[in-house]
Structure 1
Amino acid sequence: MIKIKLSSGTTIAYRDEGSGEPIVLLHGYCGSHRYWDEVLPSIESHGRVIAVDLRGHGQSSAGEGVYTMEQLADDLAALLDELKLPQVNLFGHSLGGYIALAFAEKYPDRLLALGLVHSTAFPDSEQAQANRLKAAEAIGTQGVVPFVDGLIPKLFAPEHRESMPEKLSEAKEIGYGTSAEGAIGCALGMKDRPDRVSVLEQLDIPILLLAGELDEVIPPEKRFPVSKSNVAAVTLAGVAHMGMMEDSQAFATGIAEFLERNRGSGSV
């Protein structure tokens, strides 16, 4: 792992593998760069892969307060500046997708392609917003571990909760590495994020929308909000919200084929 201190004072940790056209991976809530371990070798064959630990997650530093999606997008922009990378292919899982959309809105010229993985451009519903507040309160009073223990099983398909105990344990262990400040800050930031369907509608770069057939976090009606010639919509059969762990081969193939199809093109 490499760590770099940004001008904001935040230290961002990231894994940097391979060479060629840059591919940036942003993990989901209470995750880390380790979410990508099983699929990284397949993706790495298509370029230089930079798997980031978001602020407050993994080995990156944390601070108190709301972590807005725009602030986290600025973290990424500052990291790319430090790495002297003017443009990247950006893929975001869940929370990472919300950040990727904020980045696309604020820094559209810095994207070669955009991928939302088990994510959505829609804002939280009122119920989801209430749940974010409950999560922040629970983490503040009870800590990260019991929250992660309750969260992780919901991210896997029901059958995988029984058949993949080692994967659930791994995801929980990764989640335990999230700071309380990071988990609270991101919960509040996700609660307040705006509708960004218009961002997808306006972008003319290649876009991948990759969803899990059994995802209970992102329902079917929120997975594919736009249908355009530059948008590839892919559904992974038999997986829920953690395709990179539930079916790493199919997940990696979905991203790799998208990258190969759009290599260096800037458009589909």
Structure 2
Amino acid sequence: MQRKQQTGLPIRYADRGEGPVLVLLHGFVGSADYWERVVPMLEGHFRCIVPDLLGHGESEAPTGPYTIEQLADGVLKLLDGLDIEQAVLLGHSMGGYTALSFAERYLERLRAFGLVHSMPLPDDEAGKEKRTAVAERVLREGTKPFVEQSAPNWFAPNAAARMPAELDRVLQIGYDTKPEGAAGAALAMRERPDRGHVIRESQLPILLIAGSEDGIAPPEKAFAAENAHTSKFVIEGSGHMSLFEAPQELARHIASFAESL
């Protein structure tokens, strides 16, 4: 997905289509390219802004640790730089944590928001230890060994073997993540707080999408907080990567939600 950078903006991004603005945020060791199979099905009706978050893709990757708030502030600066007053903000995995931080502090800039294979819950102590271990590993070994070991597990059980092209694309995107960026973002996720209240207290429409076979953010965690304005969908047979496993169904849910606004 072709990306560009405007002078003074901290992140690179894709800007595709015309219409109401959708901002789509990728997950850990991903990039705007995570959305490359979904955006073509949305850009006929929406303007899709798809950034490389701090430390990822072609955006800057300073030495960390980062905070989730930093990632969200980068999105705010991007919207300001593009003169976008309001948008629908959706985040995959780590991008969902970023979307919640944004909604907690800049709600007036949103028409709606949502999480795709993400959750409002914080890491438990074991999870925090794993984040620390990931950060140390990628700085020691580079990003490639971590991605090669982890990426197959992001798909539904046995799905990666059935989808070699999709897995290879996820691997290639992950390889391009700089070690400093991966480490900084892992430590940001480690320190994120519980943001269930952002969903429970919001008066804006909220979209929550989970995969029935997601071992990272299963439906019970993805739907841990909701309210009367929440739309929930489970993509049957999908793991953590419906952007590659079921892009048409994911795009359909997003389009239906955004059009309902």
TM norm structure 1: 0.94
Asked whether the 8 Å contact 1:38–1:248 carries over to 2, the reply is yes
CA contact (8 A) 1:144 1:180 kept: yes
Deviations 1:140-162 (A, max 9, x none): 11111101111211100112121
Cα deviations by residue, 1:201-255 (Å, 9 ceiling, x for unpaired): 1111110000000000013321112332210010000000000100111111111
Preserved CA contact (<8 Å) 2:123 2:190? yes
Would you say 1:99 and 2:98 are equivalent positions? yes
Provide the residue aligned with 2:159 in structure 1.
160
Partners of 1:236 and 1:61 lie apart in 2 by 33
Residue 241 (structure 2) pairs with residue 239 (structure 1): no
Q: Letter of the aligned partner of 2:250 in structure 1?
A: F
Give yes or no for the alignment of 1:209 onto 2:211.
no
Structure 1: state its 5+ residue gaps.
Answer: 263-268
1:2 is paired with a residue whose SS is coil
Which residue in the other structure is 1:6 paired with?
8
SS in 1 for 2:140: helix
Query: How many corresponding residue pairs?
Result: 259
- Partner residue, 1:58: 57
1:64 is paired with a residue whose SS is coil
Secondary structure class of the residue paired with 2:240: coil
- 1:266 aligned partner: none
**Contact map agreement 1:38 1:245 (CA 8 A) in 2:** yes
* Partner residue in 1 for 2:36: 37
For residues 99-248 of structure 1, the aligned pairs below 5 Å read 99-248=98-247
Counterpart residue number, 1:15: 14
> Which consecutive unaligned segments of at least 5 residues does structure 2 have?
none
| Cα deviation, residue 103, structure 1 | 0.3
Shift of 1:5: 4.2
Answer whether contact 1:6 1:79 (CA < 8 A) is retained.
no
- Asked if structure 2 preserves the Cα contact closer than 8 Å seen for 1:122 and 1:197, the reply is yes
Distance 1:86 1:214 in 2: 37
Structure 1 position 82 matched with structure 2 position 97? no
Moved segments of 4+, more than 6 Å: none
Q: Secondary structure at the match of 2:138?
A: helix
Give distance in 1, aligned partners of 2:172 and 2:83.
Answer: 33
Cα distance in 2, alignment partners of residues 178 and 227 from structure 1 = 33
2:120–2:225 contact (8 Å) kept in structure 1 = no
Identity across the alignment (%): 45
Residue 139 of structure 1 contacts residue 184 of structure 1 at CA under 8 Å; is this kept in 2? yes
Partner of 1:265: none
Deviation at 1:63, TM superposition (A): 0.2
- Structure 1 pair 5–155 and aligned structure 2 pair: CA distance change class (3 A): farther
SS in 2 for 1:253: helix
RMSD of aligned C-alpha atoms? Answer: 1.1
Task: Summarize the Cα distance change of 1:99–1:227 in structure 2 as closer, same or farther, 3 Å threshold.
Answer: closer
Letter paired with 1:2: K
C-alpha separation in 2, matches of 1:225 and 1:141: 35
TM-score (norm 2): 0.97
Report the residue type matching 1:189 in the other structure.
Answer: A
The CA distance in 2 between the partners of 1:26 and 1:250, in whole Å, is 18
